[in-house]
Amino acid sequence: MKIMILLAWLIISAALTARAWAEDVKAQRQTAETMTYEDGATLQYWFYQPQGEKVKDKKYPLMLFLHGAGERGDDINRVLRHGPPMQIKKGKDFDAYVISPQCPHKKWWPAGDMIKQLDLLLKKTCNDYPIDRSRIYITGLSMGGMGTMAMVQALPDRFAAAIPICGRGDVSKASKMVDIPMWFFHGDADPTVKPEGSTQMVEAIKQAGGNKVKLTLYPGVGHNSWTKTYDNEEVYDWLFAQRKGQ
């Protein structure tokens, strides 16, 4: 009887060890990096590159993901809670480079200093890796959705498409967004960032002459409209199909 119990324990232990090893391998597919700026500021980020052997002379898309306010700080593992970095950790593959920076404590993605840092991070990645500059994308949730709108307004010539989720932005600058395909997502019962944050921006873009914008409102959904969005493969299919100049 004791032998049977010991054998069962060994089997369970081996299975748990194998599972933990598999999770470690998945986590290693994106690496924690740090960018240091001339003023001494630093920005941590997760870096993912397409898996497998690279195709010679092929250029790859680049996706920038901006997390929400709850993931700010100096523990880079917080960024793995949601969105593309979480999906990569769980084993999802992208035929693209993905950078997922962490906003420092008390900072705000839409602020001018953070937009400058993100711009320099994008430039560095484009210079260091085979990036298709006609296929640079940005997406983010909550504060990251706000950062997504602010980045598109600040750098309208940079992005091929954008997906802001449960965010809001400066509608007075909507005219800067008219040429960029954008797909907005929001829960219509969001108590944290009201759905008007998206609906008003979409309307402002249309009023400014934009016709490449669309909006999905989830009935009865609160603040977490990002899980449904990032779990939808059609969203990624749409995103990666966009090119600058189309």
Question: Does residue 236 or residue 12 have the better pLDDT?
Answer: 236
- Per-residue confidence band for 22, with pLDDT thresholds at 50, 70 and 90: very low
Which pLDDT does position 98 carry in this prediction? 99
| CA distance linking residue 73 with residue 203, whole number of Å | 34
Average predicted confidence (pLDDT) for the chain: 91
Question: Which tokens is 129 given?
Answer: 């890796």
- Per-residue confidence band for 14, with pLDDT thresholds at 50, 70 and 90: very low
pTM of the model as a whole = 0.88
What is the tens place of the pLDDT at every residue in 214-226?
999 999 999 999 9
**Residue ranges per domain, the chain?**
31-241
State how far the alpha carbon of 238 is from the alpha carbons of 7, 142, 161, 186, in Å.
Answer: 51, 21, 9, 17
Q: Do the beta carbons of residue 203 and residue 196 sit within 8 Å?
A: no
Which pLDDT does position 78 carry in this prediction? 97
Q: Do the beta carbons of residue 145 and residue 110 sit within 8 Å?
A: no
Topology of domain 31-241, CATH: Rossmann fold (3.40.50)
Does residue 93 surpass a pLDDT of 80?
yes
Does residue 70 surpass a pLDDT of 80?
yes
Does residue 11 surpass a pLDDT of 50?
no
100-125 average pLDDT score: 97
Query: What stretches of the chain adopt beta strand conformation (E)?
Result: 30-36, 42-48, 60-66, 97-101, 131-141, 161-165, 182-187, 213-218
Does residue 100 surpass a pLDDT of 70?
yes
173-188 average pLDDT score: 98
Triad 91, 92, 95: Cα angle to 5°: 130
Does residue 191 surpass a pLDDT of 80?
yes
| CA distance linking residue 67 with residue 38, whole number of Å | 24
Does residue 188 surpass a pLDDT of 70?
yes
Neighbours of 197 (CB within 10 A): 22
Q: Do the beta carbons of residue 184 and residue 136 sit within 8 Å?
A: no
How large a percentage of the chain has pLDDT more than 90? 85
